[in-house]
């Protein structure tokens, strides 16, 4: 729980699959927690991701299912009395640095899909109602979105005041990133900032800036310590503390916290 007086941030992390959304969002959430933010990490990606980057074990069950009830065969709703605050208090998983993780749920097997379908509607409602609650307005929200621009509109990110779009130097990643940024700016009317990831050399950096047509706010190098942390199933901020990549994300957390990004 935060004791330092910081202004909350509501940030969604978007981009193509594999670009580094979970790595960036989990590390950013932990770094903001260390800066005094009361962070709620919202993982709406049904692929495993934020548990690892936050440094906690993947839960066996979809905790959010405690907050929903079925009304018809394919229709679910939030249980009476469940708003965003109660859902976070009852269904989130504690992570280091005071971060709490609210997870949509993971679709890892066919029989596991049902709970996820129930949790999607709940997640949308919670995300959409965060702004109504005085308690929730004091939290900093960091969202890990499913790949692609569609999910910025699908209700997963209705809380967002700005999107970080993670992009690696490949044409497919750039294509997806530009769509995410455009969608955020034109449809949500919110700022979007590119975070370049997995840069291997100066040439890749120049090429990426040229393809994007604008300067990213952060350049994260391809980092062997981050890759090793992933192989060990550990959080980069723990297992690769002090690495170049984690250092860049920590600086980005400070810039966000001090509101030094354009439009924030």
Ligand X SMILES: Nc1ncnc2c1ncn2[C@@H]1O[C@H](COP(=O)(O)OP(=O)(O)O)[C@@H](O)[C@H]1O
What residues numbered 45-64 form the site for ligand X, per CB under 6 A? 49
CB–CB of 10/145 below 8 Å? no
Is residue 236 part of the contact set for Mg ion (CB under 5 A)?
Answer: no
What residues numbered 20-59 form the site for Mg ion, per CB under 5 A? 21-22, 45, 49
**CB count in 10 Å sphere of residue 108:** 13
Return the one option of Mg ion, ligand X, none that residue 155 interacts with (CB less than 5 to 8 A, by type).
Answer: none
Return the one option of Mg ion, ligand X, none that residue 179 interacts with (CB less than 5 to 8 A, by type).
Answer: none
Which range, of 12-20, 125-133, 175-183, 254-262, touches ligand X by CB under 6 A?
A: 12-20
Is residue 190 part of the contact set for ligand X (CB under 6 A)?
Answer: no
* Cα distance between residue 14 and residue 20, in whole Å: 9
CB–CB of 34/166 below 8 Å? no
Is residue 17 part of the contact set for ligand X (CB under 6 A)?
Answer: yes
Return the one option of ligand X, Mg ion, none that residue 104 interacts with (CB less than 5 to 8 A, by type).
Answer: none
Task: Name the CA dihedral angle for 151, 157, 163, 164, rounded to a multiple of 10 degrees.
Answer: -70
Q: How far is the CB of 146 from ligand X (least distance, A)?
A: 9
Q: Which residue lies nearer to Mg ion by CB, 42 or 68?
A: 42
SS (H, E, C) 25-72: HHHHHHHHHHCCCCEEEEECCCCCCHHHHHCCCCCCCCHHHHHEEEEE
* Cα distance between residue 136 and residue 88, in whole Å: 9
Out of 18, 128, 155, 191, which residue is the one contacting ligand X (CB under 6 A)? 18
Q: How far is the CB of 207 from ligand X (least distance, A)?
A: 17
Is residue 230 part of the contact set for ligand X (CB under 6 A)?
Answer: yes
Tokens of 233: 């199933």
Is residue 20 part of the contact set for ligand X (CB under 6 A)?
Answer: yes
Out of 92, 173, 184, 197, which residue is the one contacting ligand X (CB under 6 A)? 197
CB–CB of 50/41 below 8 Å? yes
Q: How many Cα atoms are found within 13 Å in the side-chain-facing hemisphere of 130? A: 30
Binding site for Mg ion (CB under 5 A): 21-22, 45, 49
The residues of the shown chain that bind ligand X, judged by CB under 6 A, are 15, 17-23, 49, 197-198, 220, 222-223, 226-227, 230, 245
């Amino acid at each position: 729980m935060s004791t330092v007086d910081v202004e909350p941030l509501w940030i969604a992390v978007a981009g193509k699959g594999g670009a580094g959304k979970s790595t960036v969002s989990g590390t950013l959430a932990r770094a903001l927690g260390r800066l005094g933010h009361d962070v709620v990490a919202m993982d709406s990606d049904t692929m495993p991701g934020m548990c690892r980057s936050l440094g906690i074990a993947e839960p066996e069950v979809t905790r959010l299912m405690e907050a929903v009830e079925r009304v018809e065969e394919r229709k679910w709703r939030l249980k009476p009395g469940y708003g965003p605050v109660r859902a976070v208090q009852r269904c989130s998983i504690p992570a280091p640095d005071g971060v709490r993780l609210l997870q949509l749920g993971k679709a890892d097997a066919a029989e596991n899909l049902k709970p996820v379908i129930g949790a999607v509607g709940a997640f949308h409602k919670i995300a959409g109602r965060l702004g109504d609650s005085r308690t929730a307005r004091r939290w900093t929200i960091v969202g890990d979105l499913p790949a692609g621009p569609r999910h910025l509109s699908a209700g997963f990110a209705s809380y967002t005041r700005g999107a970080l779009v993670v992009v690696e130097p490949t044409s497919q990643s750039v294509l997806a990133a530009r769509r995410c940024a455009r969608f955020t700016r034109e449809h949500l009317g919110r700022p979007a900032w590119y975070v370049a990831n997995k840069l291997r050399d100066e040439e890749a950096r120049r090429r990426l800036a040229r393809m994007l047509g604008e300067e990213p706010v952060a350049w994260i190098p391809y980092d062997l310590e981050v890759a090793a942390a992933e192989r060990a199933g550990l959080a980069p901020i723990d297992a690769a503390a002090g690495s170049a990549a984690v250092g860049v994300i920590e600086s980005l957390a400070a810039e966000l916290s001090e509101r030094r990004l354009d439009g924030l």
